[in-house]
Amino acid sequence: MTVSGPISGVKVLEFSGIGPGPFAAMMLSDMGADVIRIERPGAMDPTPDRIDLRGRRTITLDLKDAAAVALCLELCASAEIVIEGGRPGVMERLGLGPEVVLASNPKLVYGRMTGWGQFGPLNQAAGHDINYIALTGALHSIGTTDKPVAPLNLIGDFGGGAMFLIAGLLAGLIHARATGQGQVVDAAMTDGTAYLLTLCYSMLAGKRWTDQRAINTLDGGAPFYDTYQCADGHWISVGSIEPQFYALLLEKSGATGLLTQPQMERAAWQEMKEALAGIFRTKTRDEWCAIMEGTDVCFAPVLSLLEAPRHPHNIARQTFVELDGVTTPAPAPRFSATPSTIQFGPRTGRYGATETLQDWGISTRRIEELVSGGILP
């Protein structure tokens, strides 16, 4: 197939992991990169629903074998980007740490994806998204007055993790191509999540945010920035922050005469919220969509994962596509001159290892040696 995308031709070596590392590798592939994924022996073959593993050719290697490590070093010499997500020190013990790799390929951008970062008192501790966002103040700020609520694993793994890894890798790639100097990108989910909270910390410093849950403008405390249940049990969302949008919310909902308090009178927010809740329970979600959707109320229905691909806006933009019979979000963002493309679905480590290595400059004789030595199947 013809590969398109703004980084078409960039070679990326991905050491298998979970969560943000594979997601970042998927994004790079969608943007046109040639990504090889190094998988562990015994790993299950990916099924079509593992859409996060799309677009990469996979080679299965036992990195406890010196010959397999030597092959990885050969591949690193041809790569511009490496991605790994092990605990700090794991790659060094394997002989594939950044000092070794950069010594043979000084232009390489070596991306390291962890939760706690490469240094710090917690860097060797196990953890997951919920723990990383807890340490930064994000989890404390999300939920009800009764308890923090985990916001899926969107904030730590993918927002604070993969997105910052991608930004670092691409910035490092620009620098390496301009100067010939590679570097290590230390992408920690705690760092990235804290960075995402910049606006909240700004408002906290300016005394426009209270360090409590569900009493602020953007955390569900405000009646005009919340979700409401409808007559049919479905939910809608409103985000009418600006005064003109709030006035339109009152008009469209029929609450103009009922909610006479000033919009920003916090002492009245609970009463205002209860009034709006009563109003929204009088109609179905579809009825409220007919009244408010597409207006400046700042309104949207709360759709399930099954419903979202069927919404007319998502259909028009082709936000979701079919890949091997599986509904998957399409690549984002969109490029006008070099559109991203899903190259292919998930592939096993037995698919075309010889051709993959040849494409990366490994000689036929060397491949034959690897096969006869039991390094490759």
The count of residues in the chain is 377
What pLDDT tens digit does each residue of the chain (377 aa) get? 578 899 999 999 999 999 999 999 999 999 999 999 999 998 888 889 999 999 999 999 999 999 999 999 999 999 999 999 999 999 999 999 999 999 999 999 999 999 999 999 999 999 999 999 999 999 999 999 999 999 999 999 999 999 999 999 999 999 999 999 999 999 999 999 999 999 999 999 999 999 999 999 999 999 999 999 999 999 999 999 999 999 999 999 999 999 999 999 999 999 999 999 999 999 999 999 999 999 999 999 999 999 999 999 999 999 999 999 999 999 999 999 999 999 999 987 667 889 999 999 999 999 999 999 999 97
Please report the pLDDT score of residue 1 as a whole number.
57
Please report the pLDDT score of residue 349 as a whole number.
66
Please report the pLDDT score of residue 347 as a whole number.
84
Please report the pLDDT score of residue 77 as a whole number.
96
Please report the pLDDT score of residue 43 as a whole number.
86
Q: Where along the chain do its domains lie?
A: 11-196+320-372, 225-302
Global pTM value:
0.95
Say if residues 193 and 246 touch (Cβ distance below 8 Å): no
CATH assignment, 225-302: 3.30.1540.10
- What CATH topology corresponds to 11-196+320-372? Rossmann fold (3.40.50)
Widest CA span of the chain, in angstroms? 83
Say if residues 144 and 138 touch (Cβ distance below 8 Å): no
- Alpha carbon of 127 to those of 25, 87, 157: distances in Å? 21, 11, 11
Query: Rounded to the nearest 10 degrees, how much is the dihedral formed by the CA atoms of 60, 64, 70, 75?
Result: 40
313 is catalytic: no
From the list 45, 52, 65, 128, the catalytic residue is 128
10 Å Cβ neighbour count for 355?
11
Please report the pLDDT score of residue 350 as a whole number.
65
- Alpha carbon of 28 to those of 56, 163, 203, 249: distances in Å? 10, 11, 34, 41
Instruction: Please choose, from the candidates 51, 52, 43, 96, the residue with its C-alpha nearest in 3D space to the C-alpha of residue 72.
Output: 96
Q: Do you find a cis peptide bond into 331, omega within 30 degrees of 0?
A: no
Please report the pLDDT score of residue 306 as a whole number.
98
211 is catalytic: no
Please report the pLDDT score of residue 332 as a whole number.
97
Please report the pLDDT score of residue 13 as a whole number.
98
From the list 30, 157, 186, 191, the catalytic residue is 157
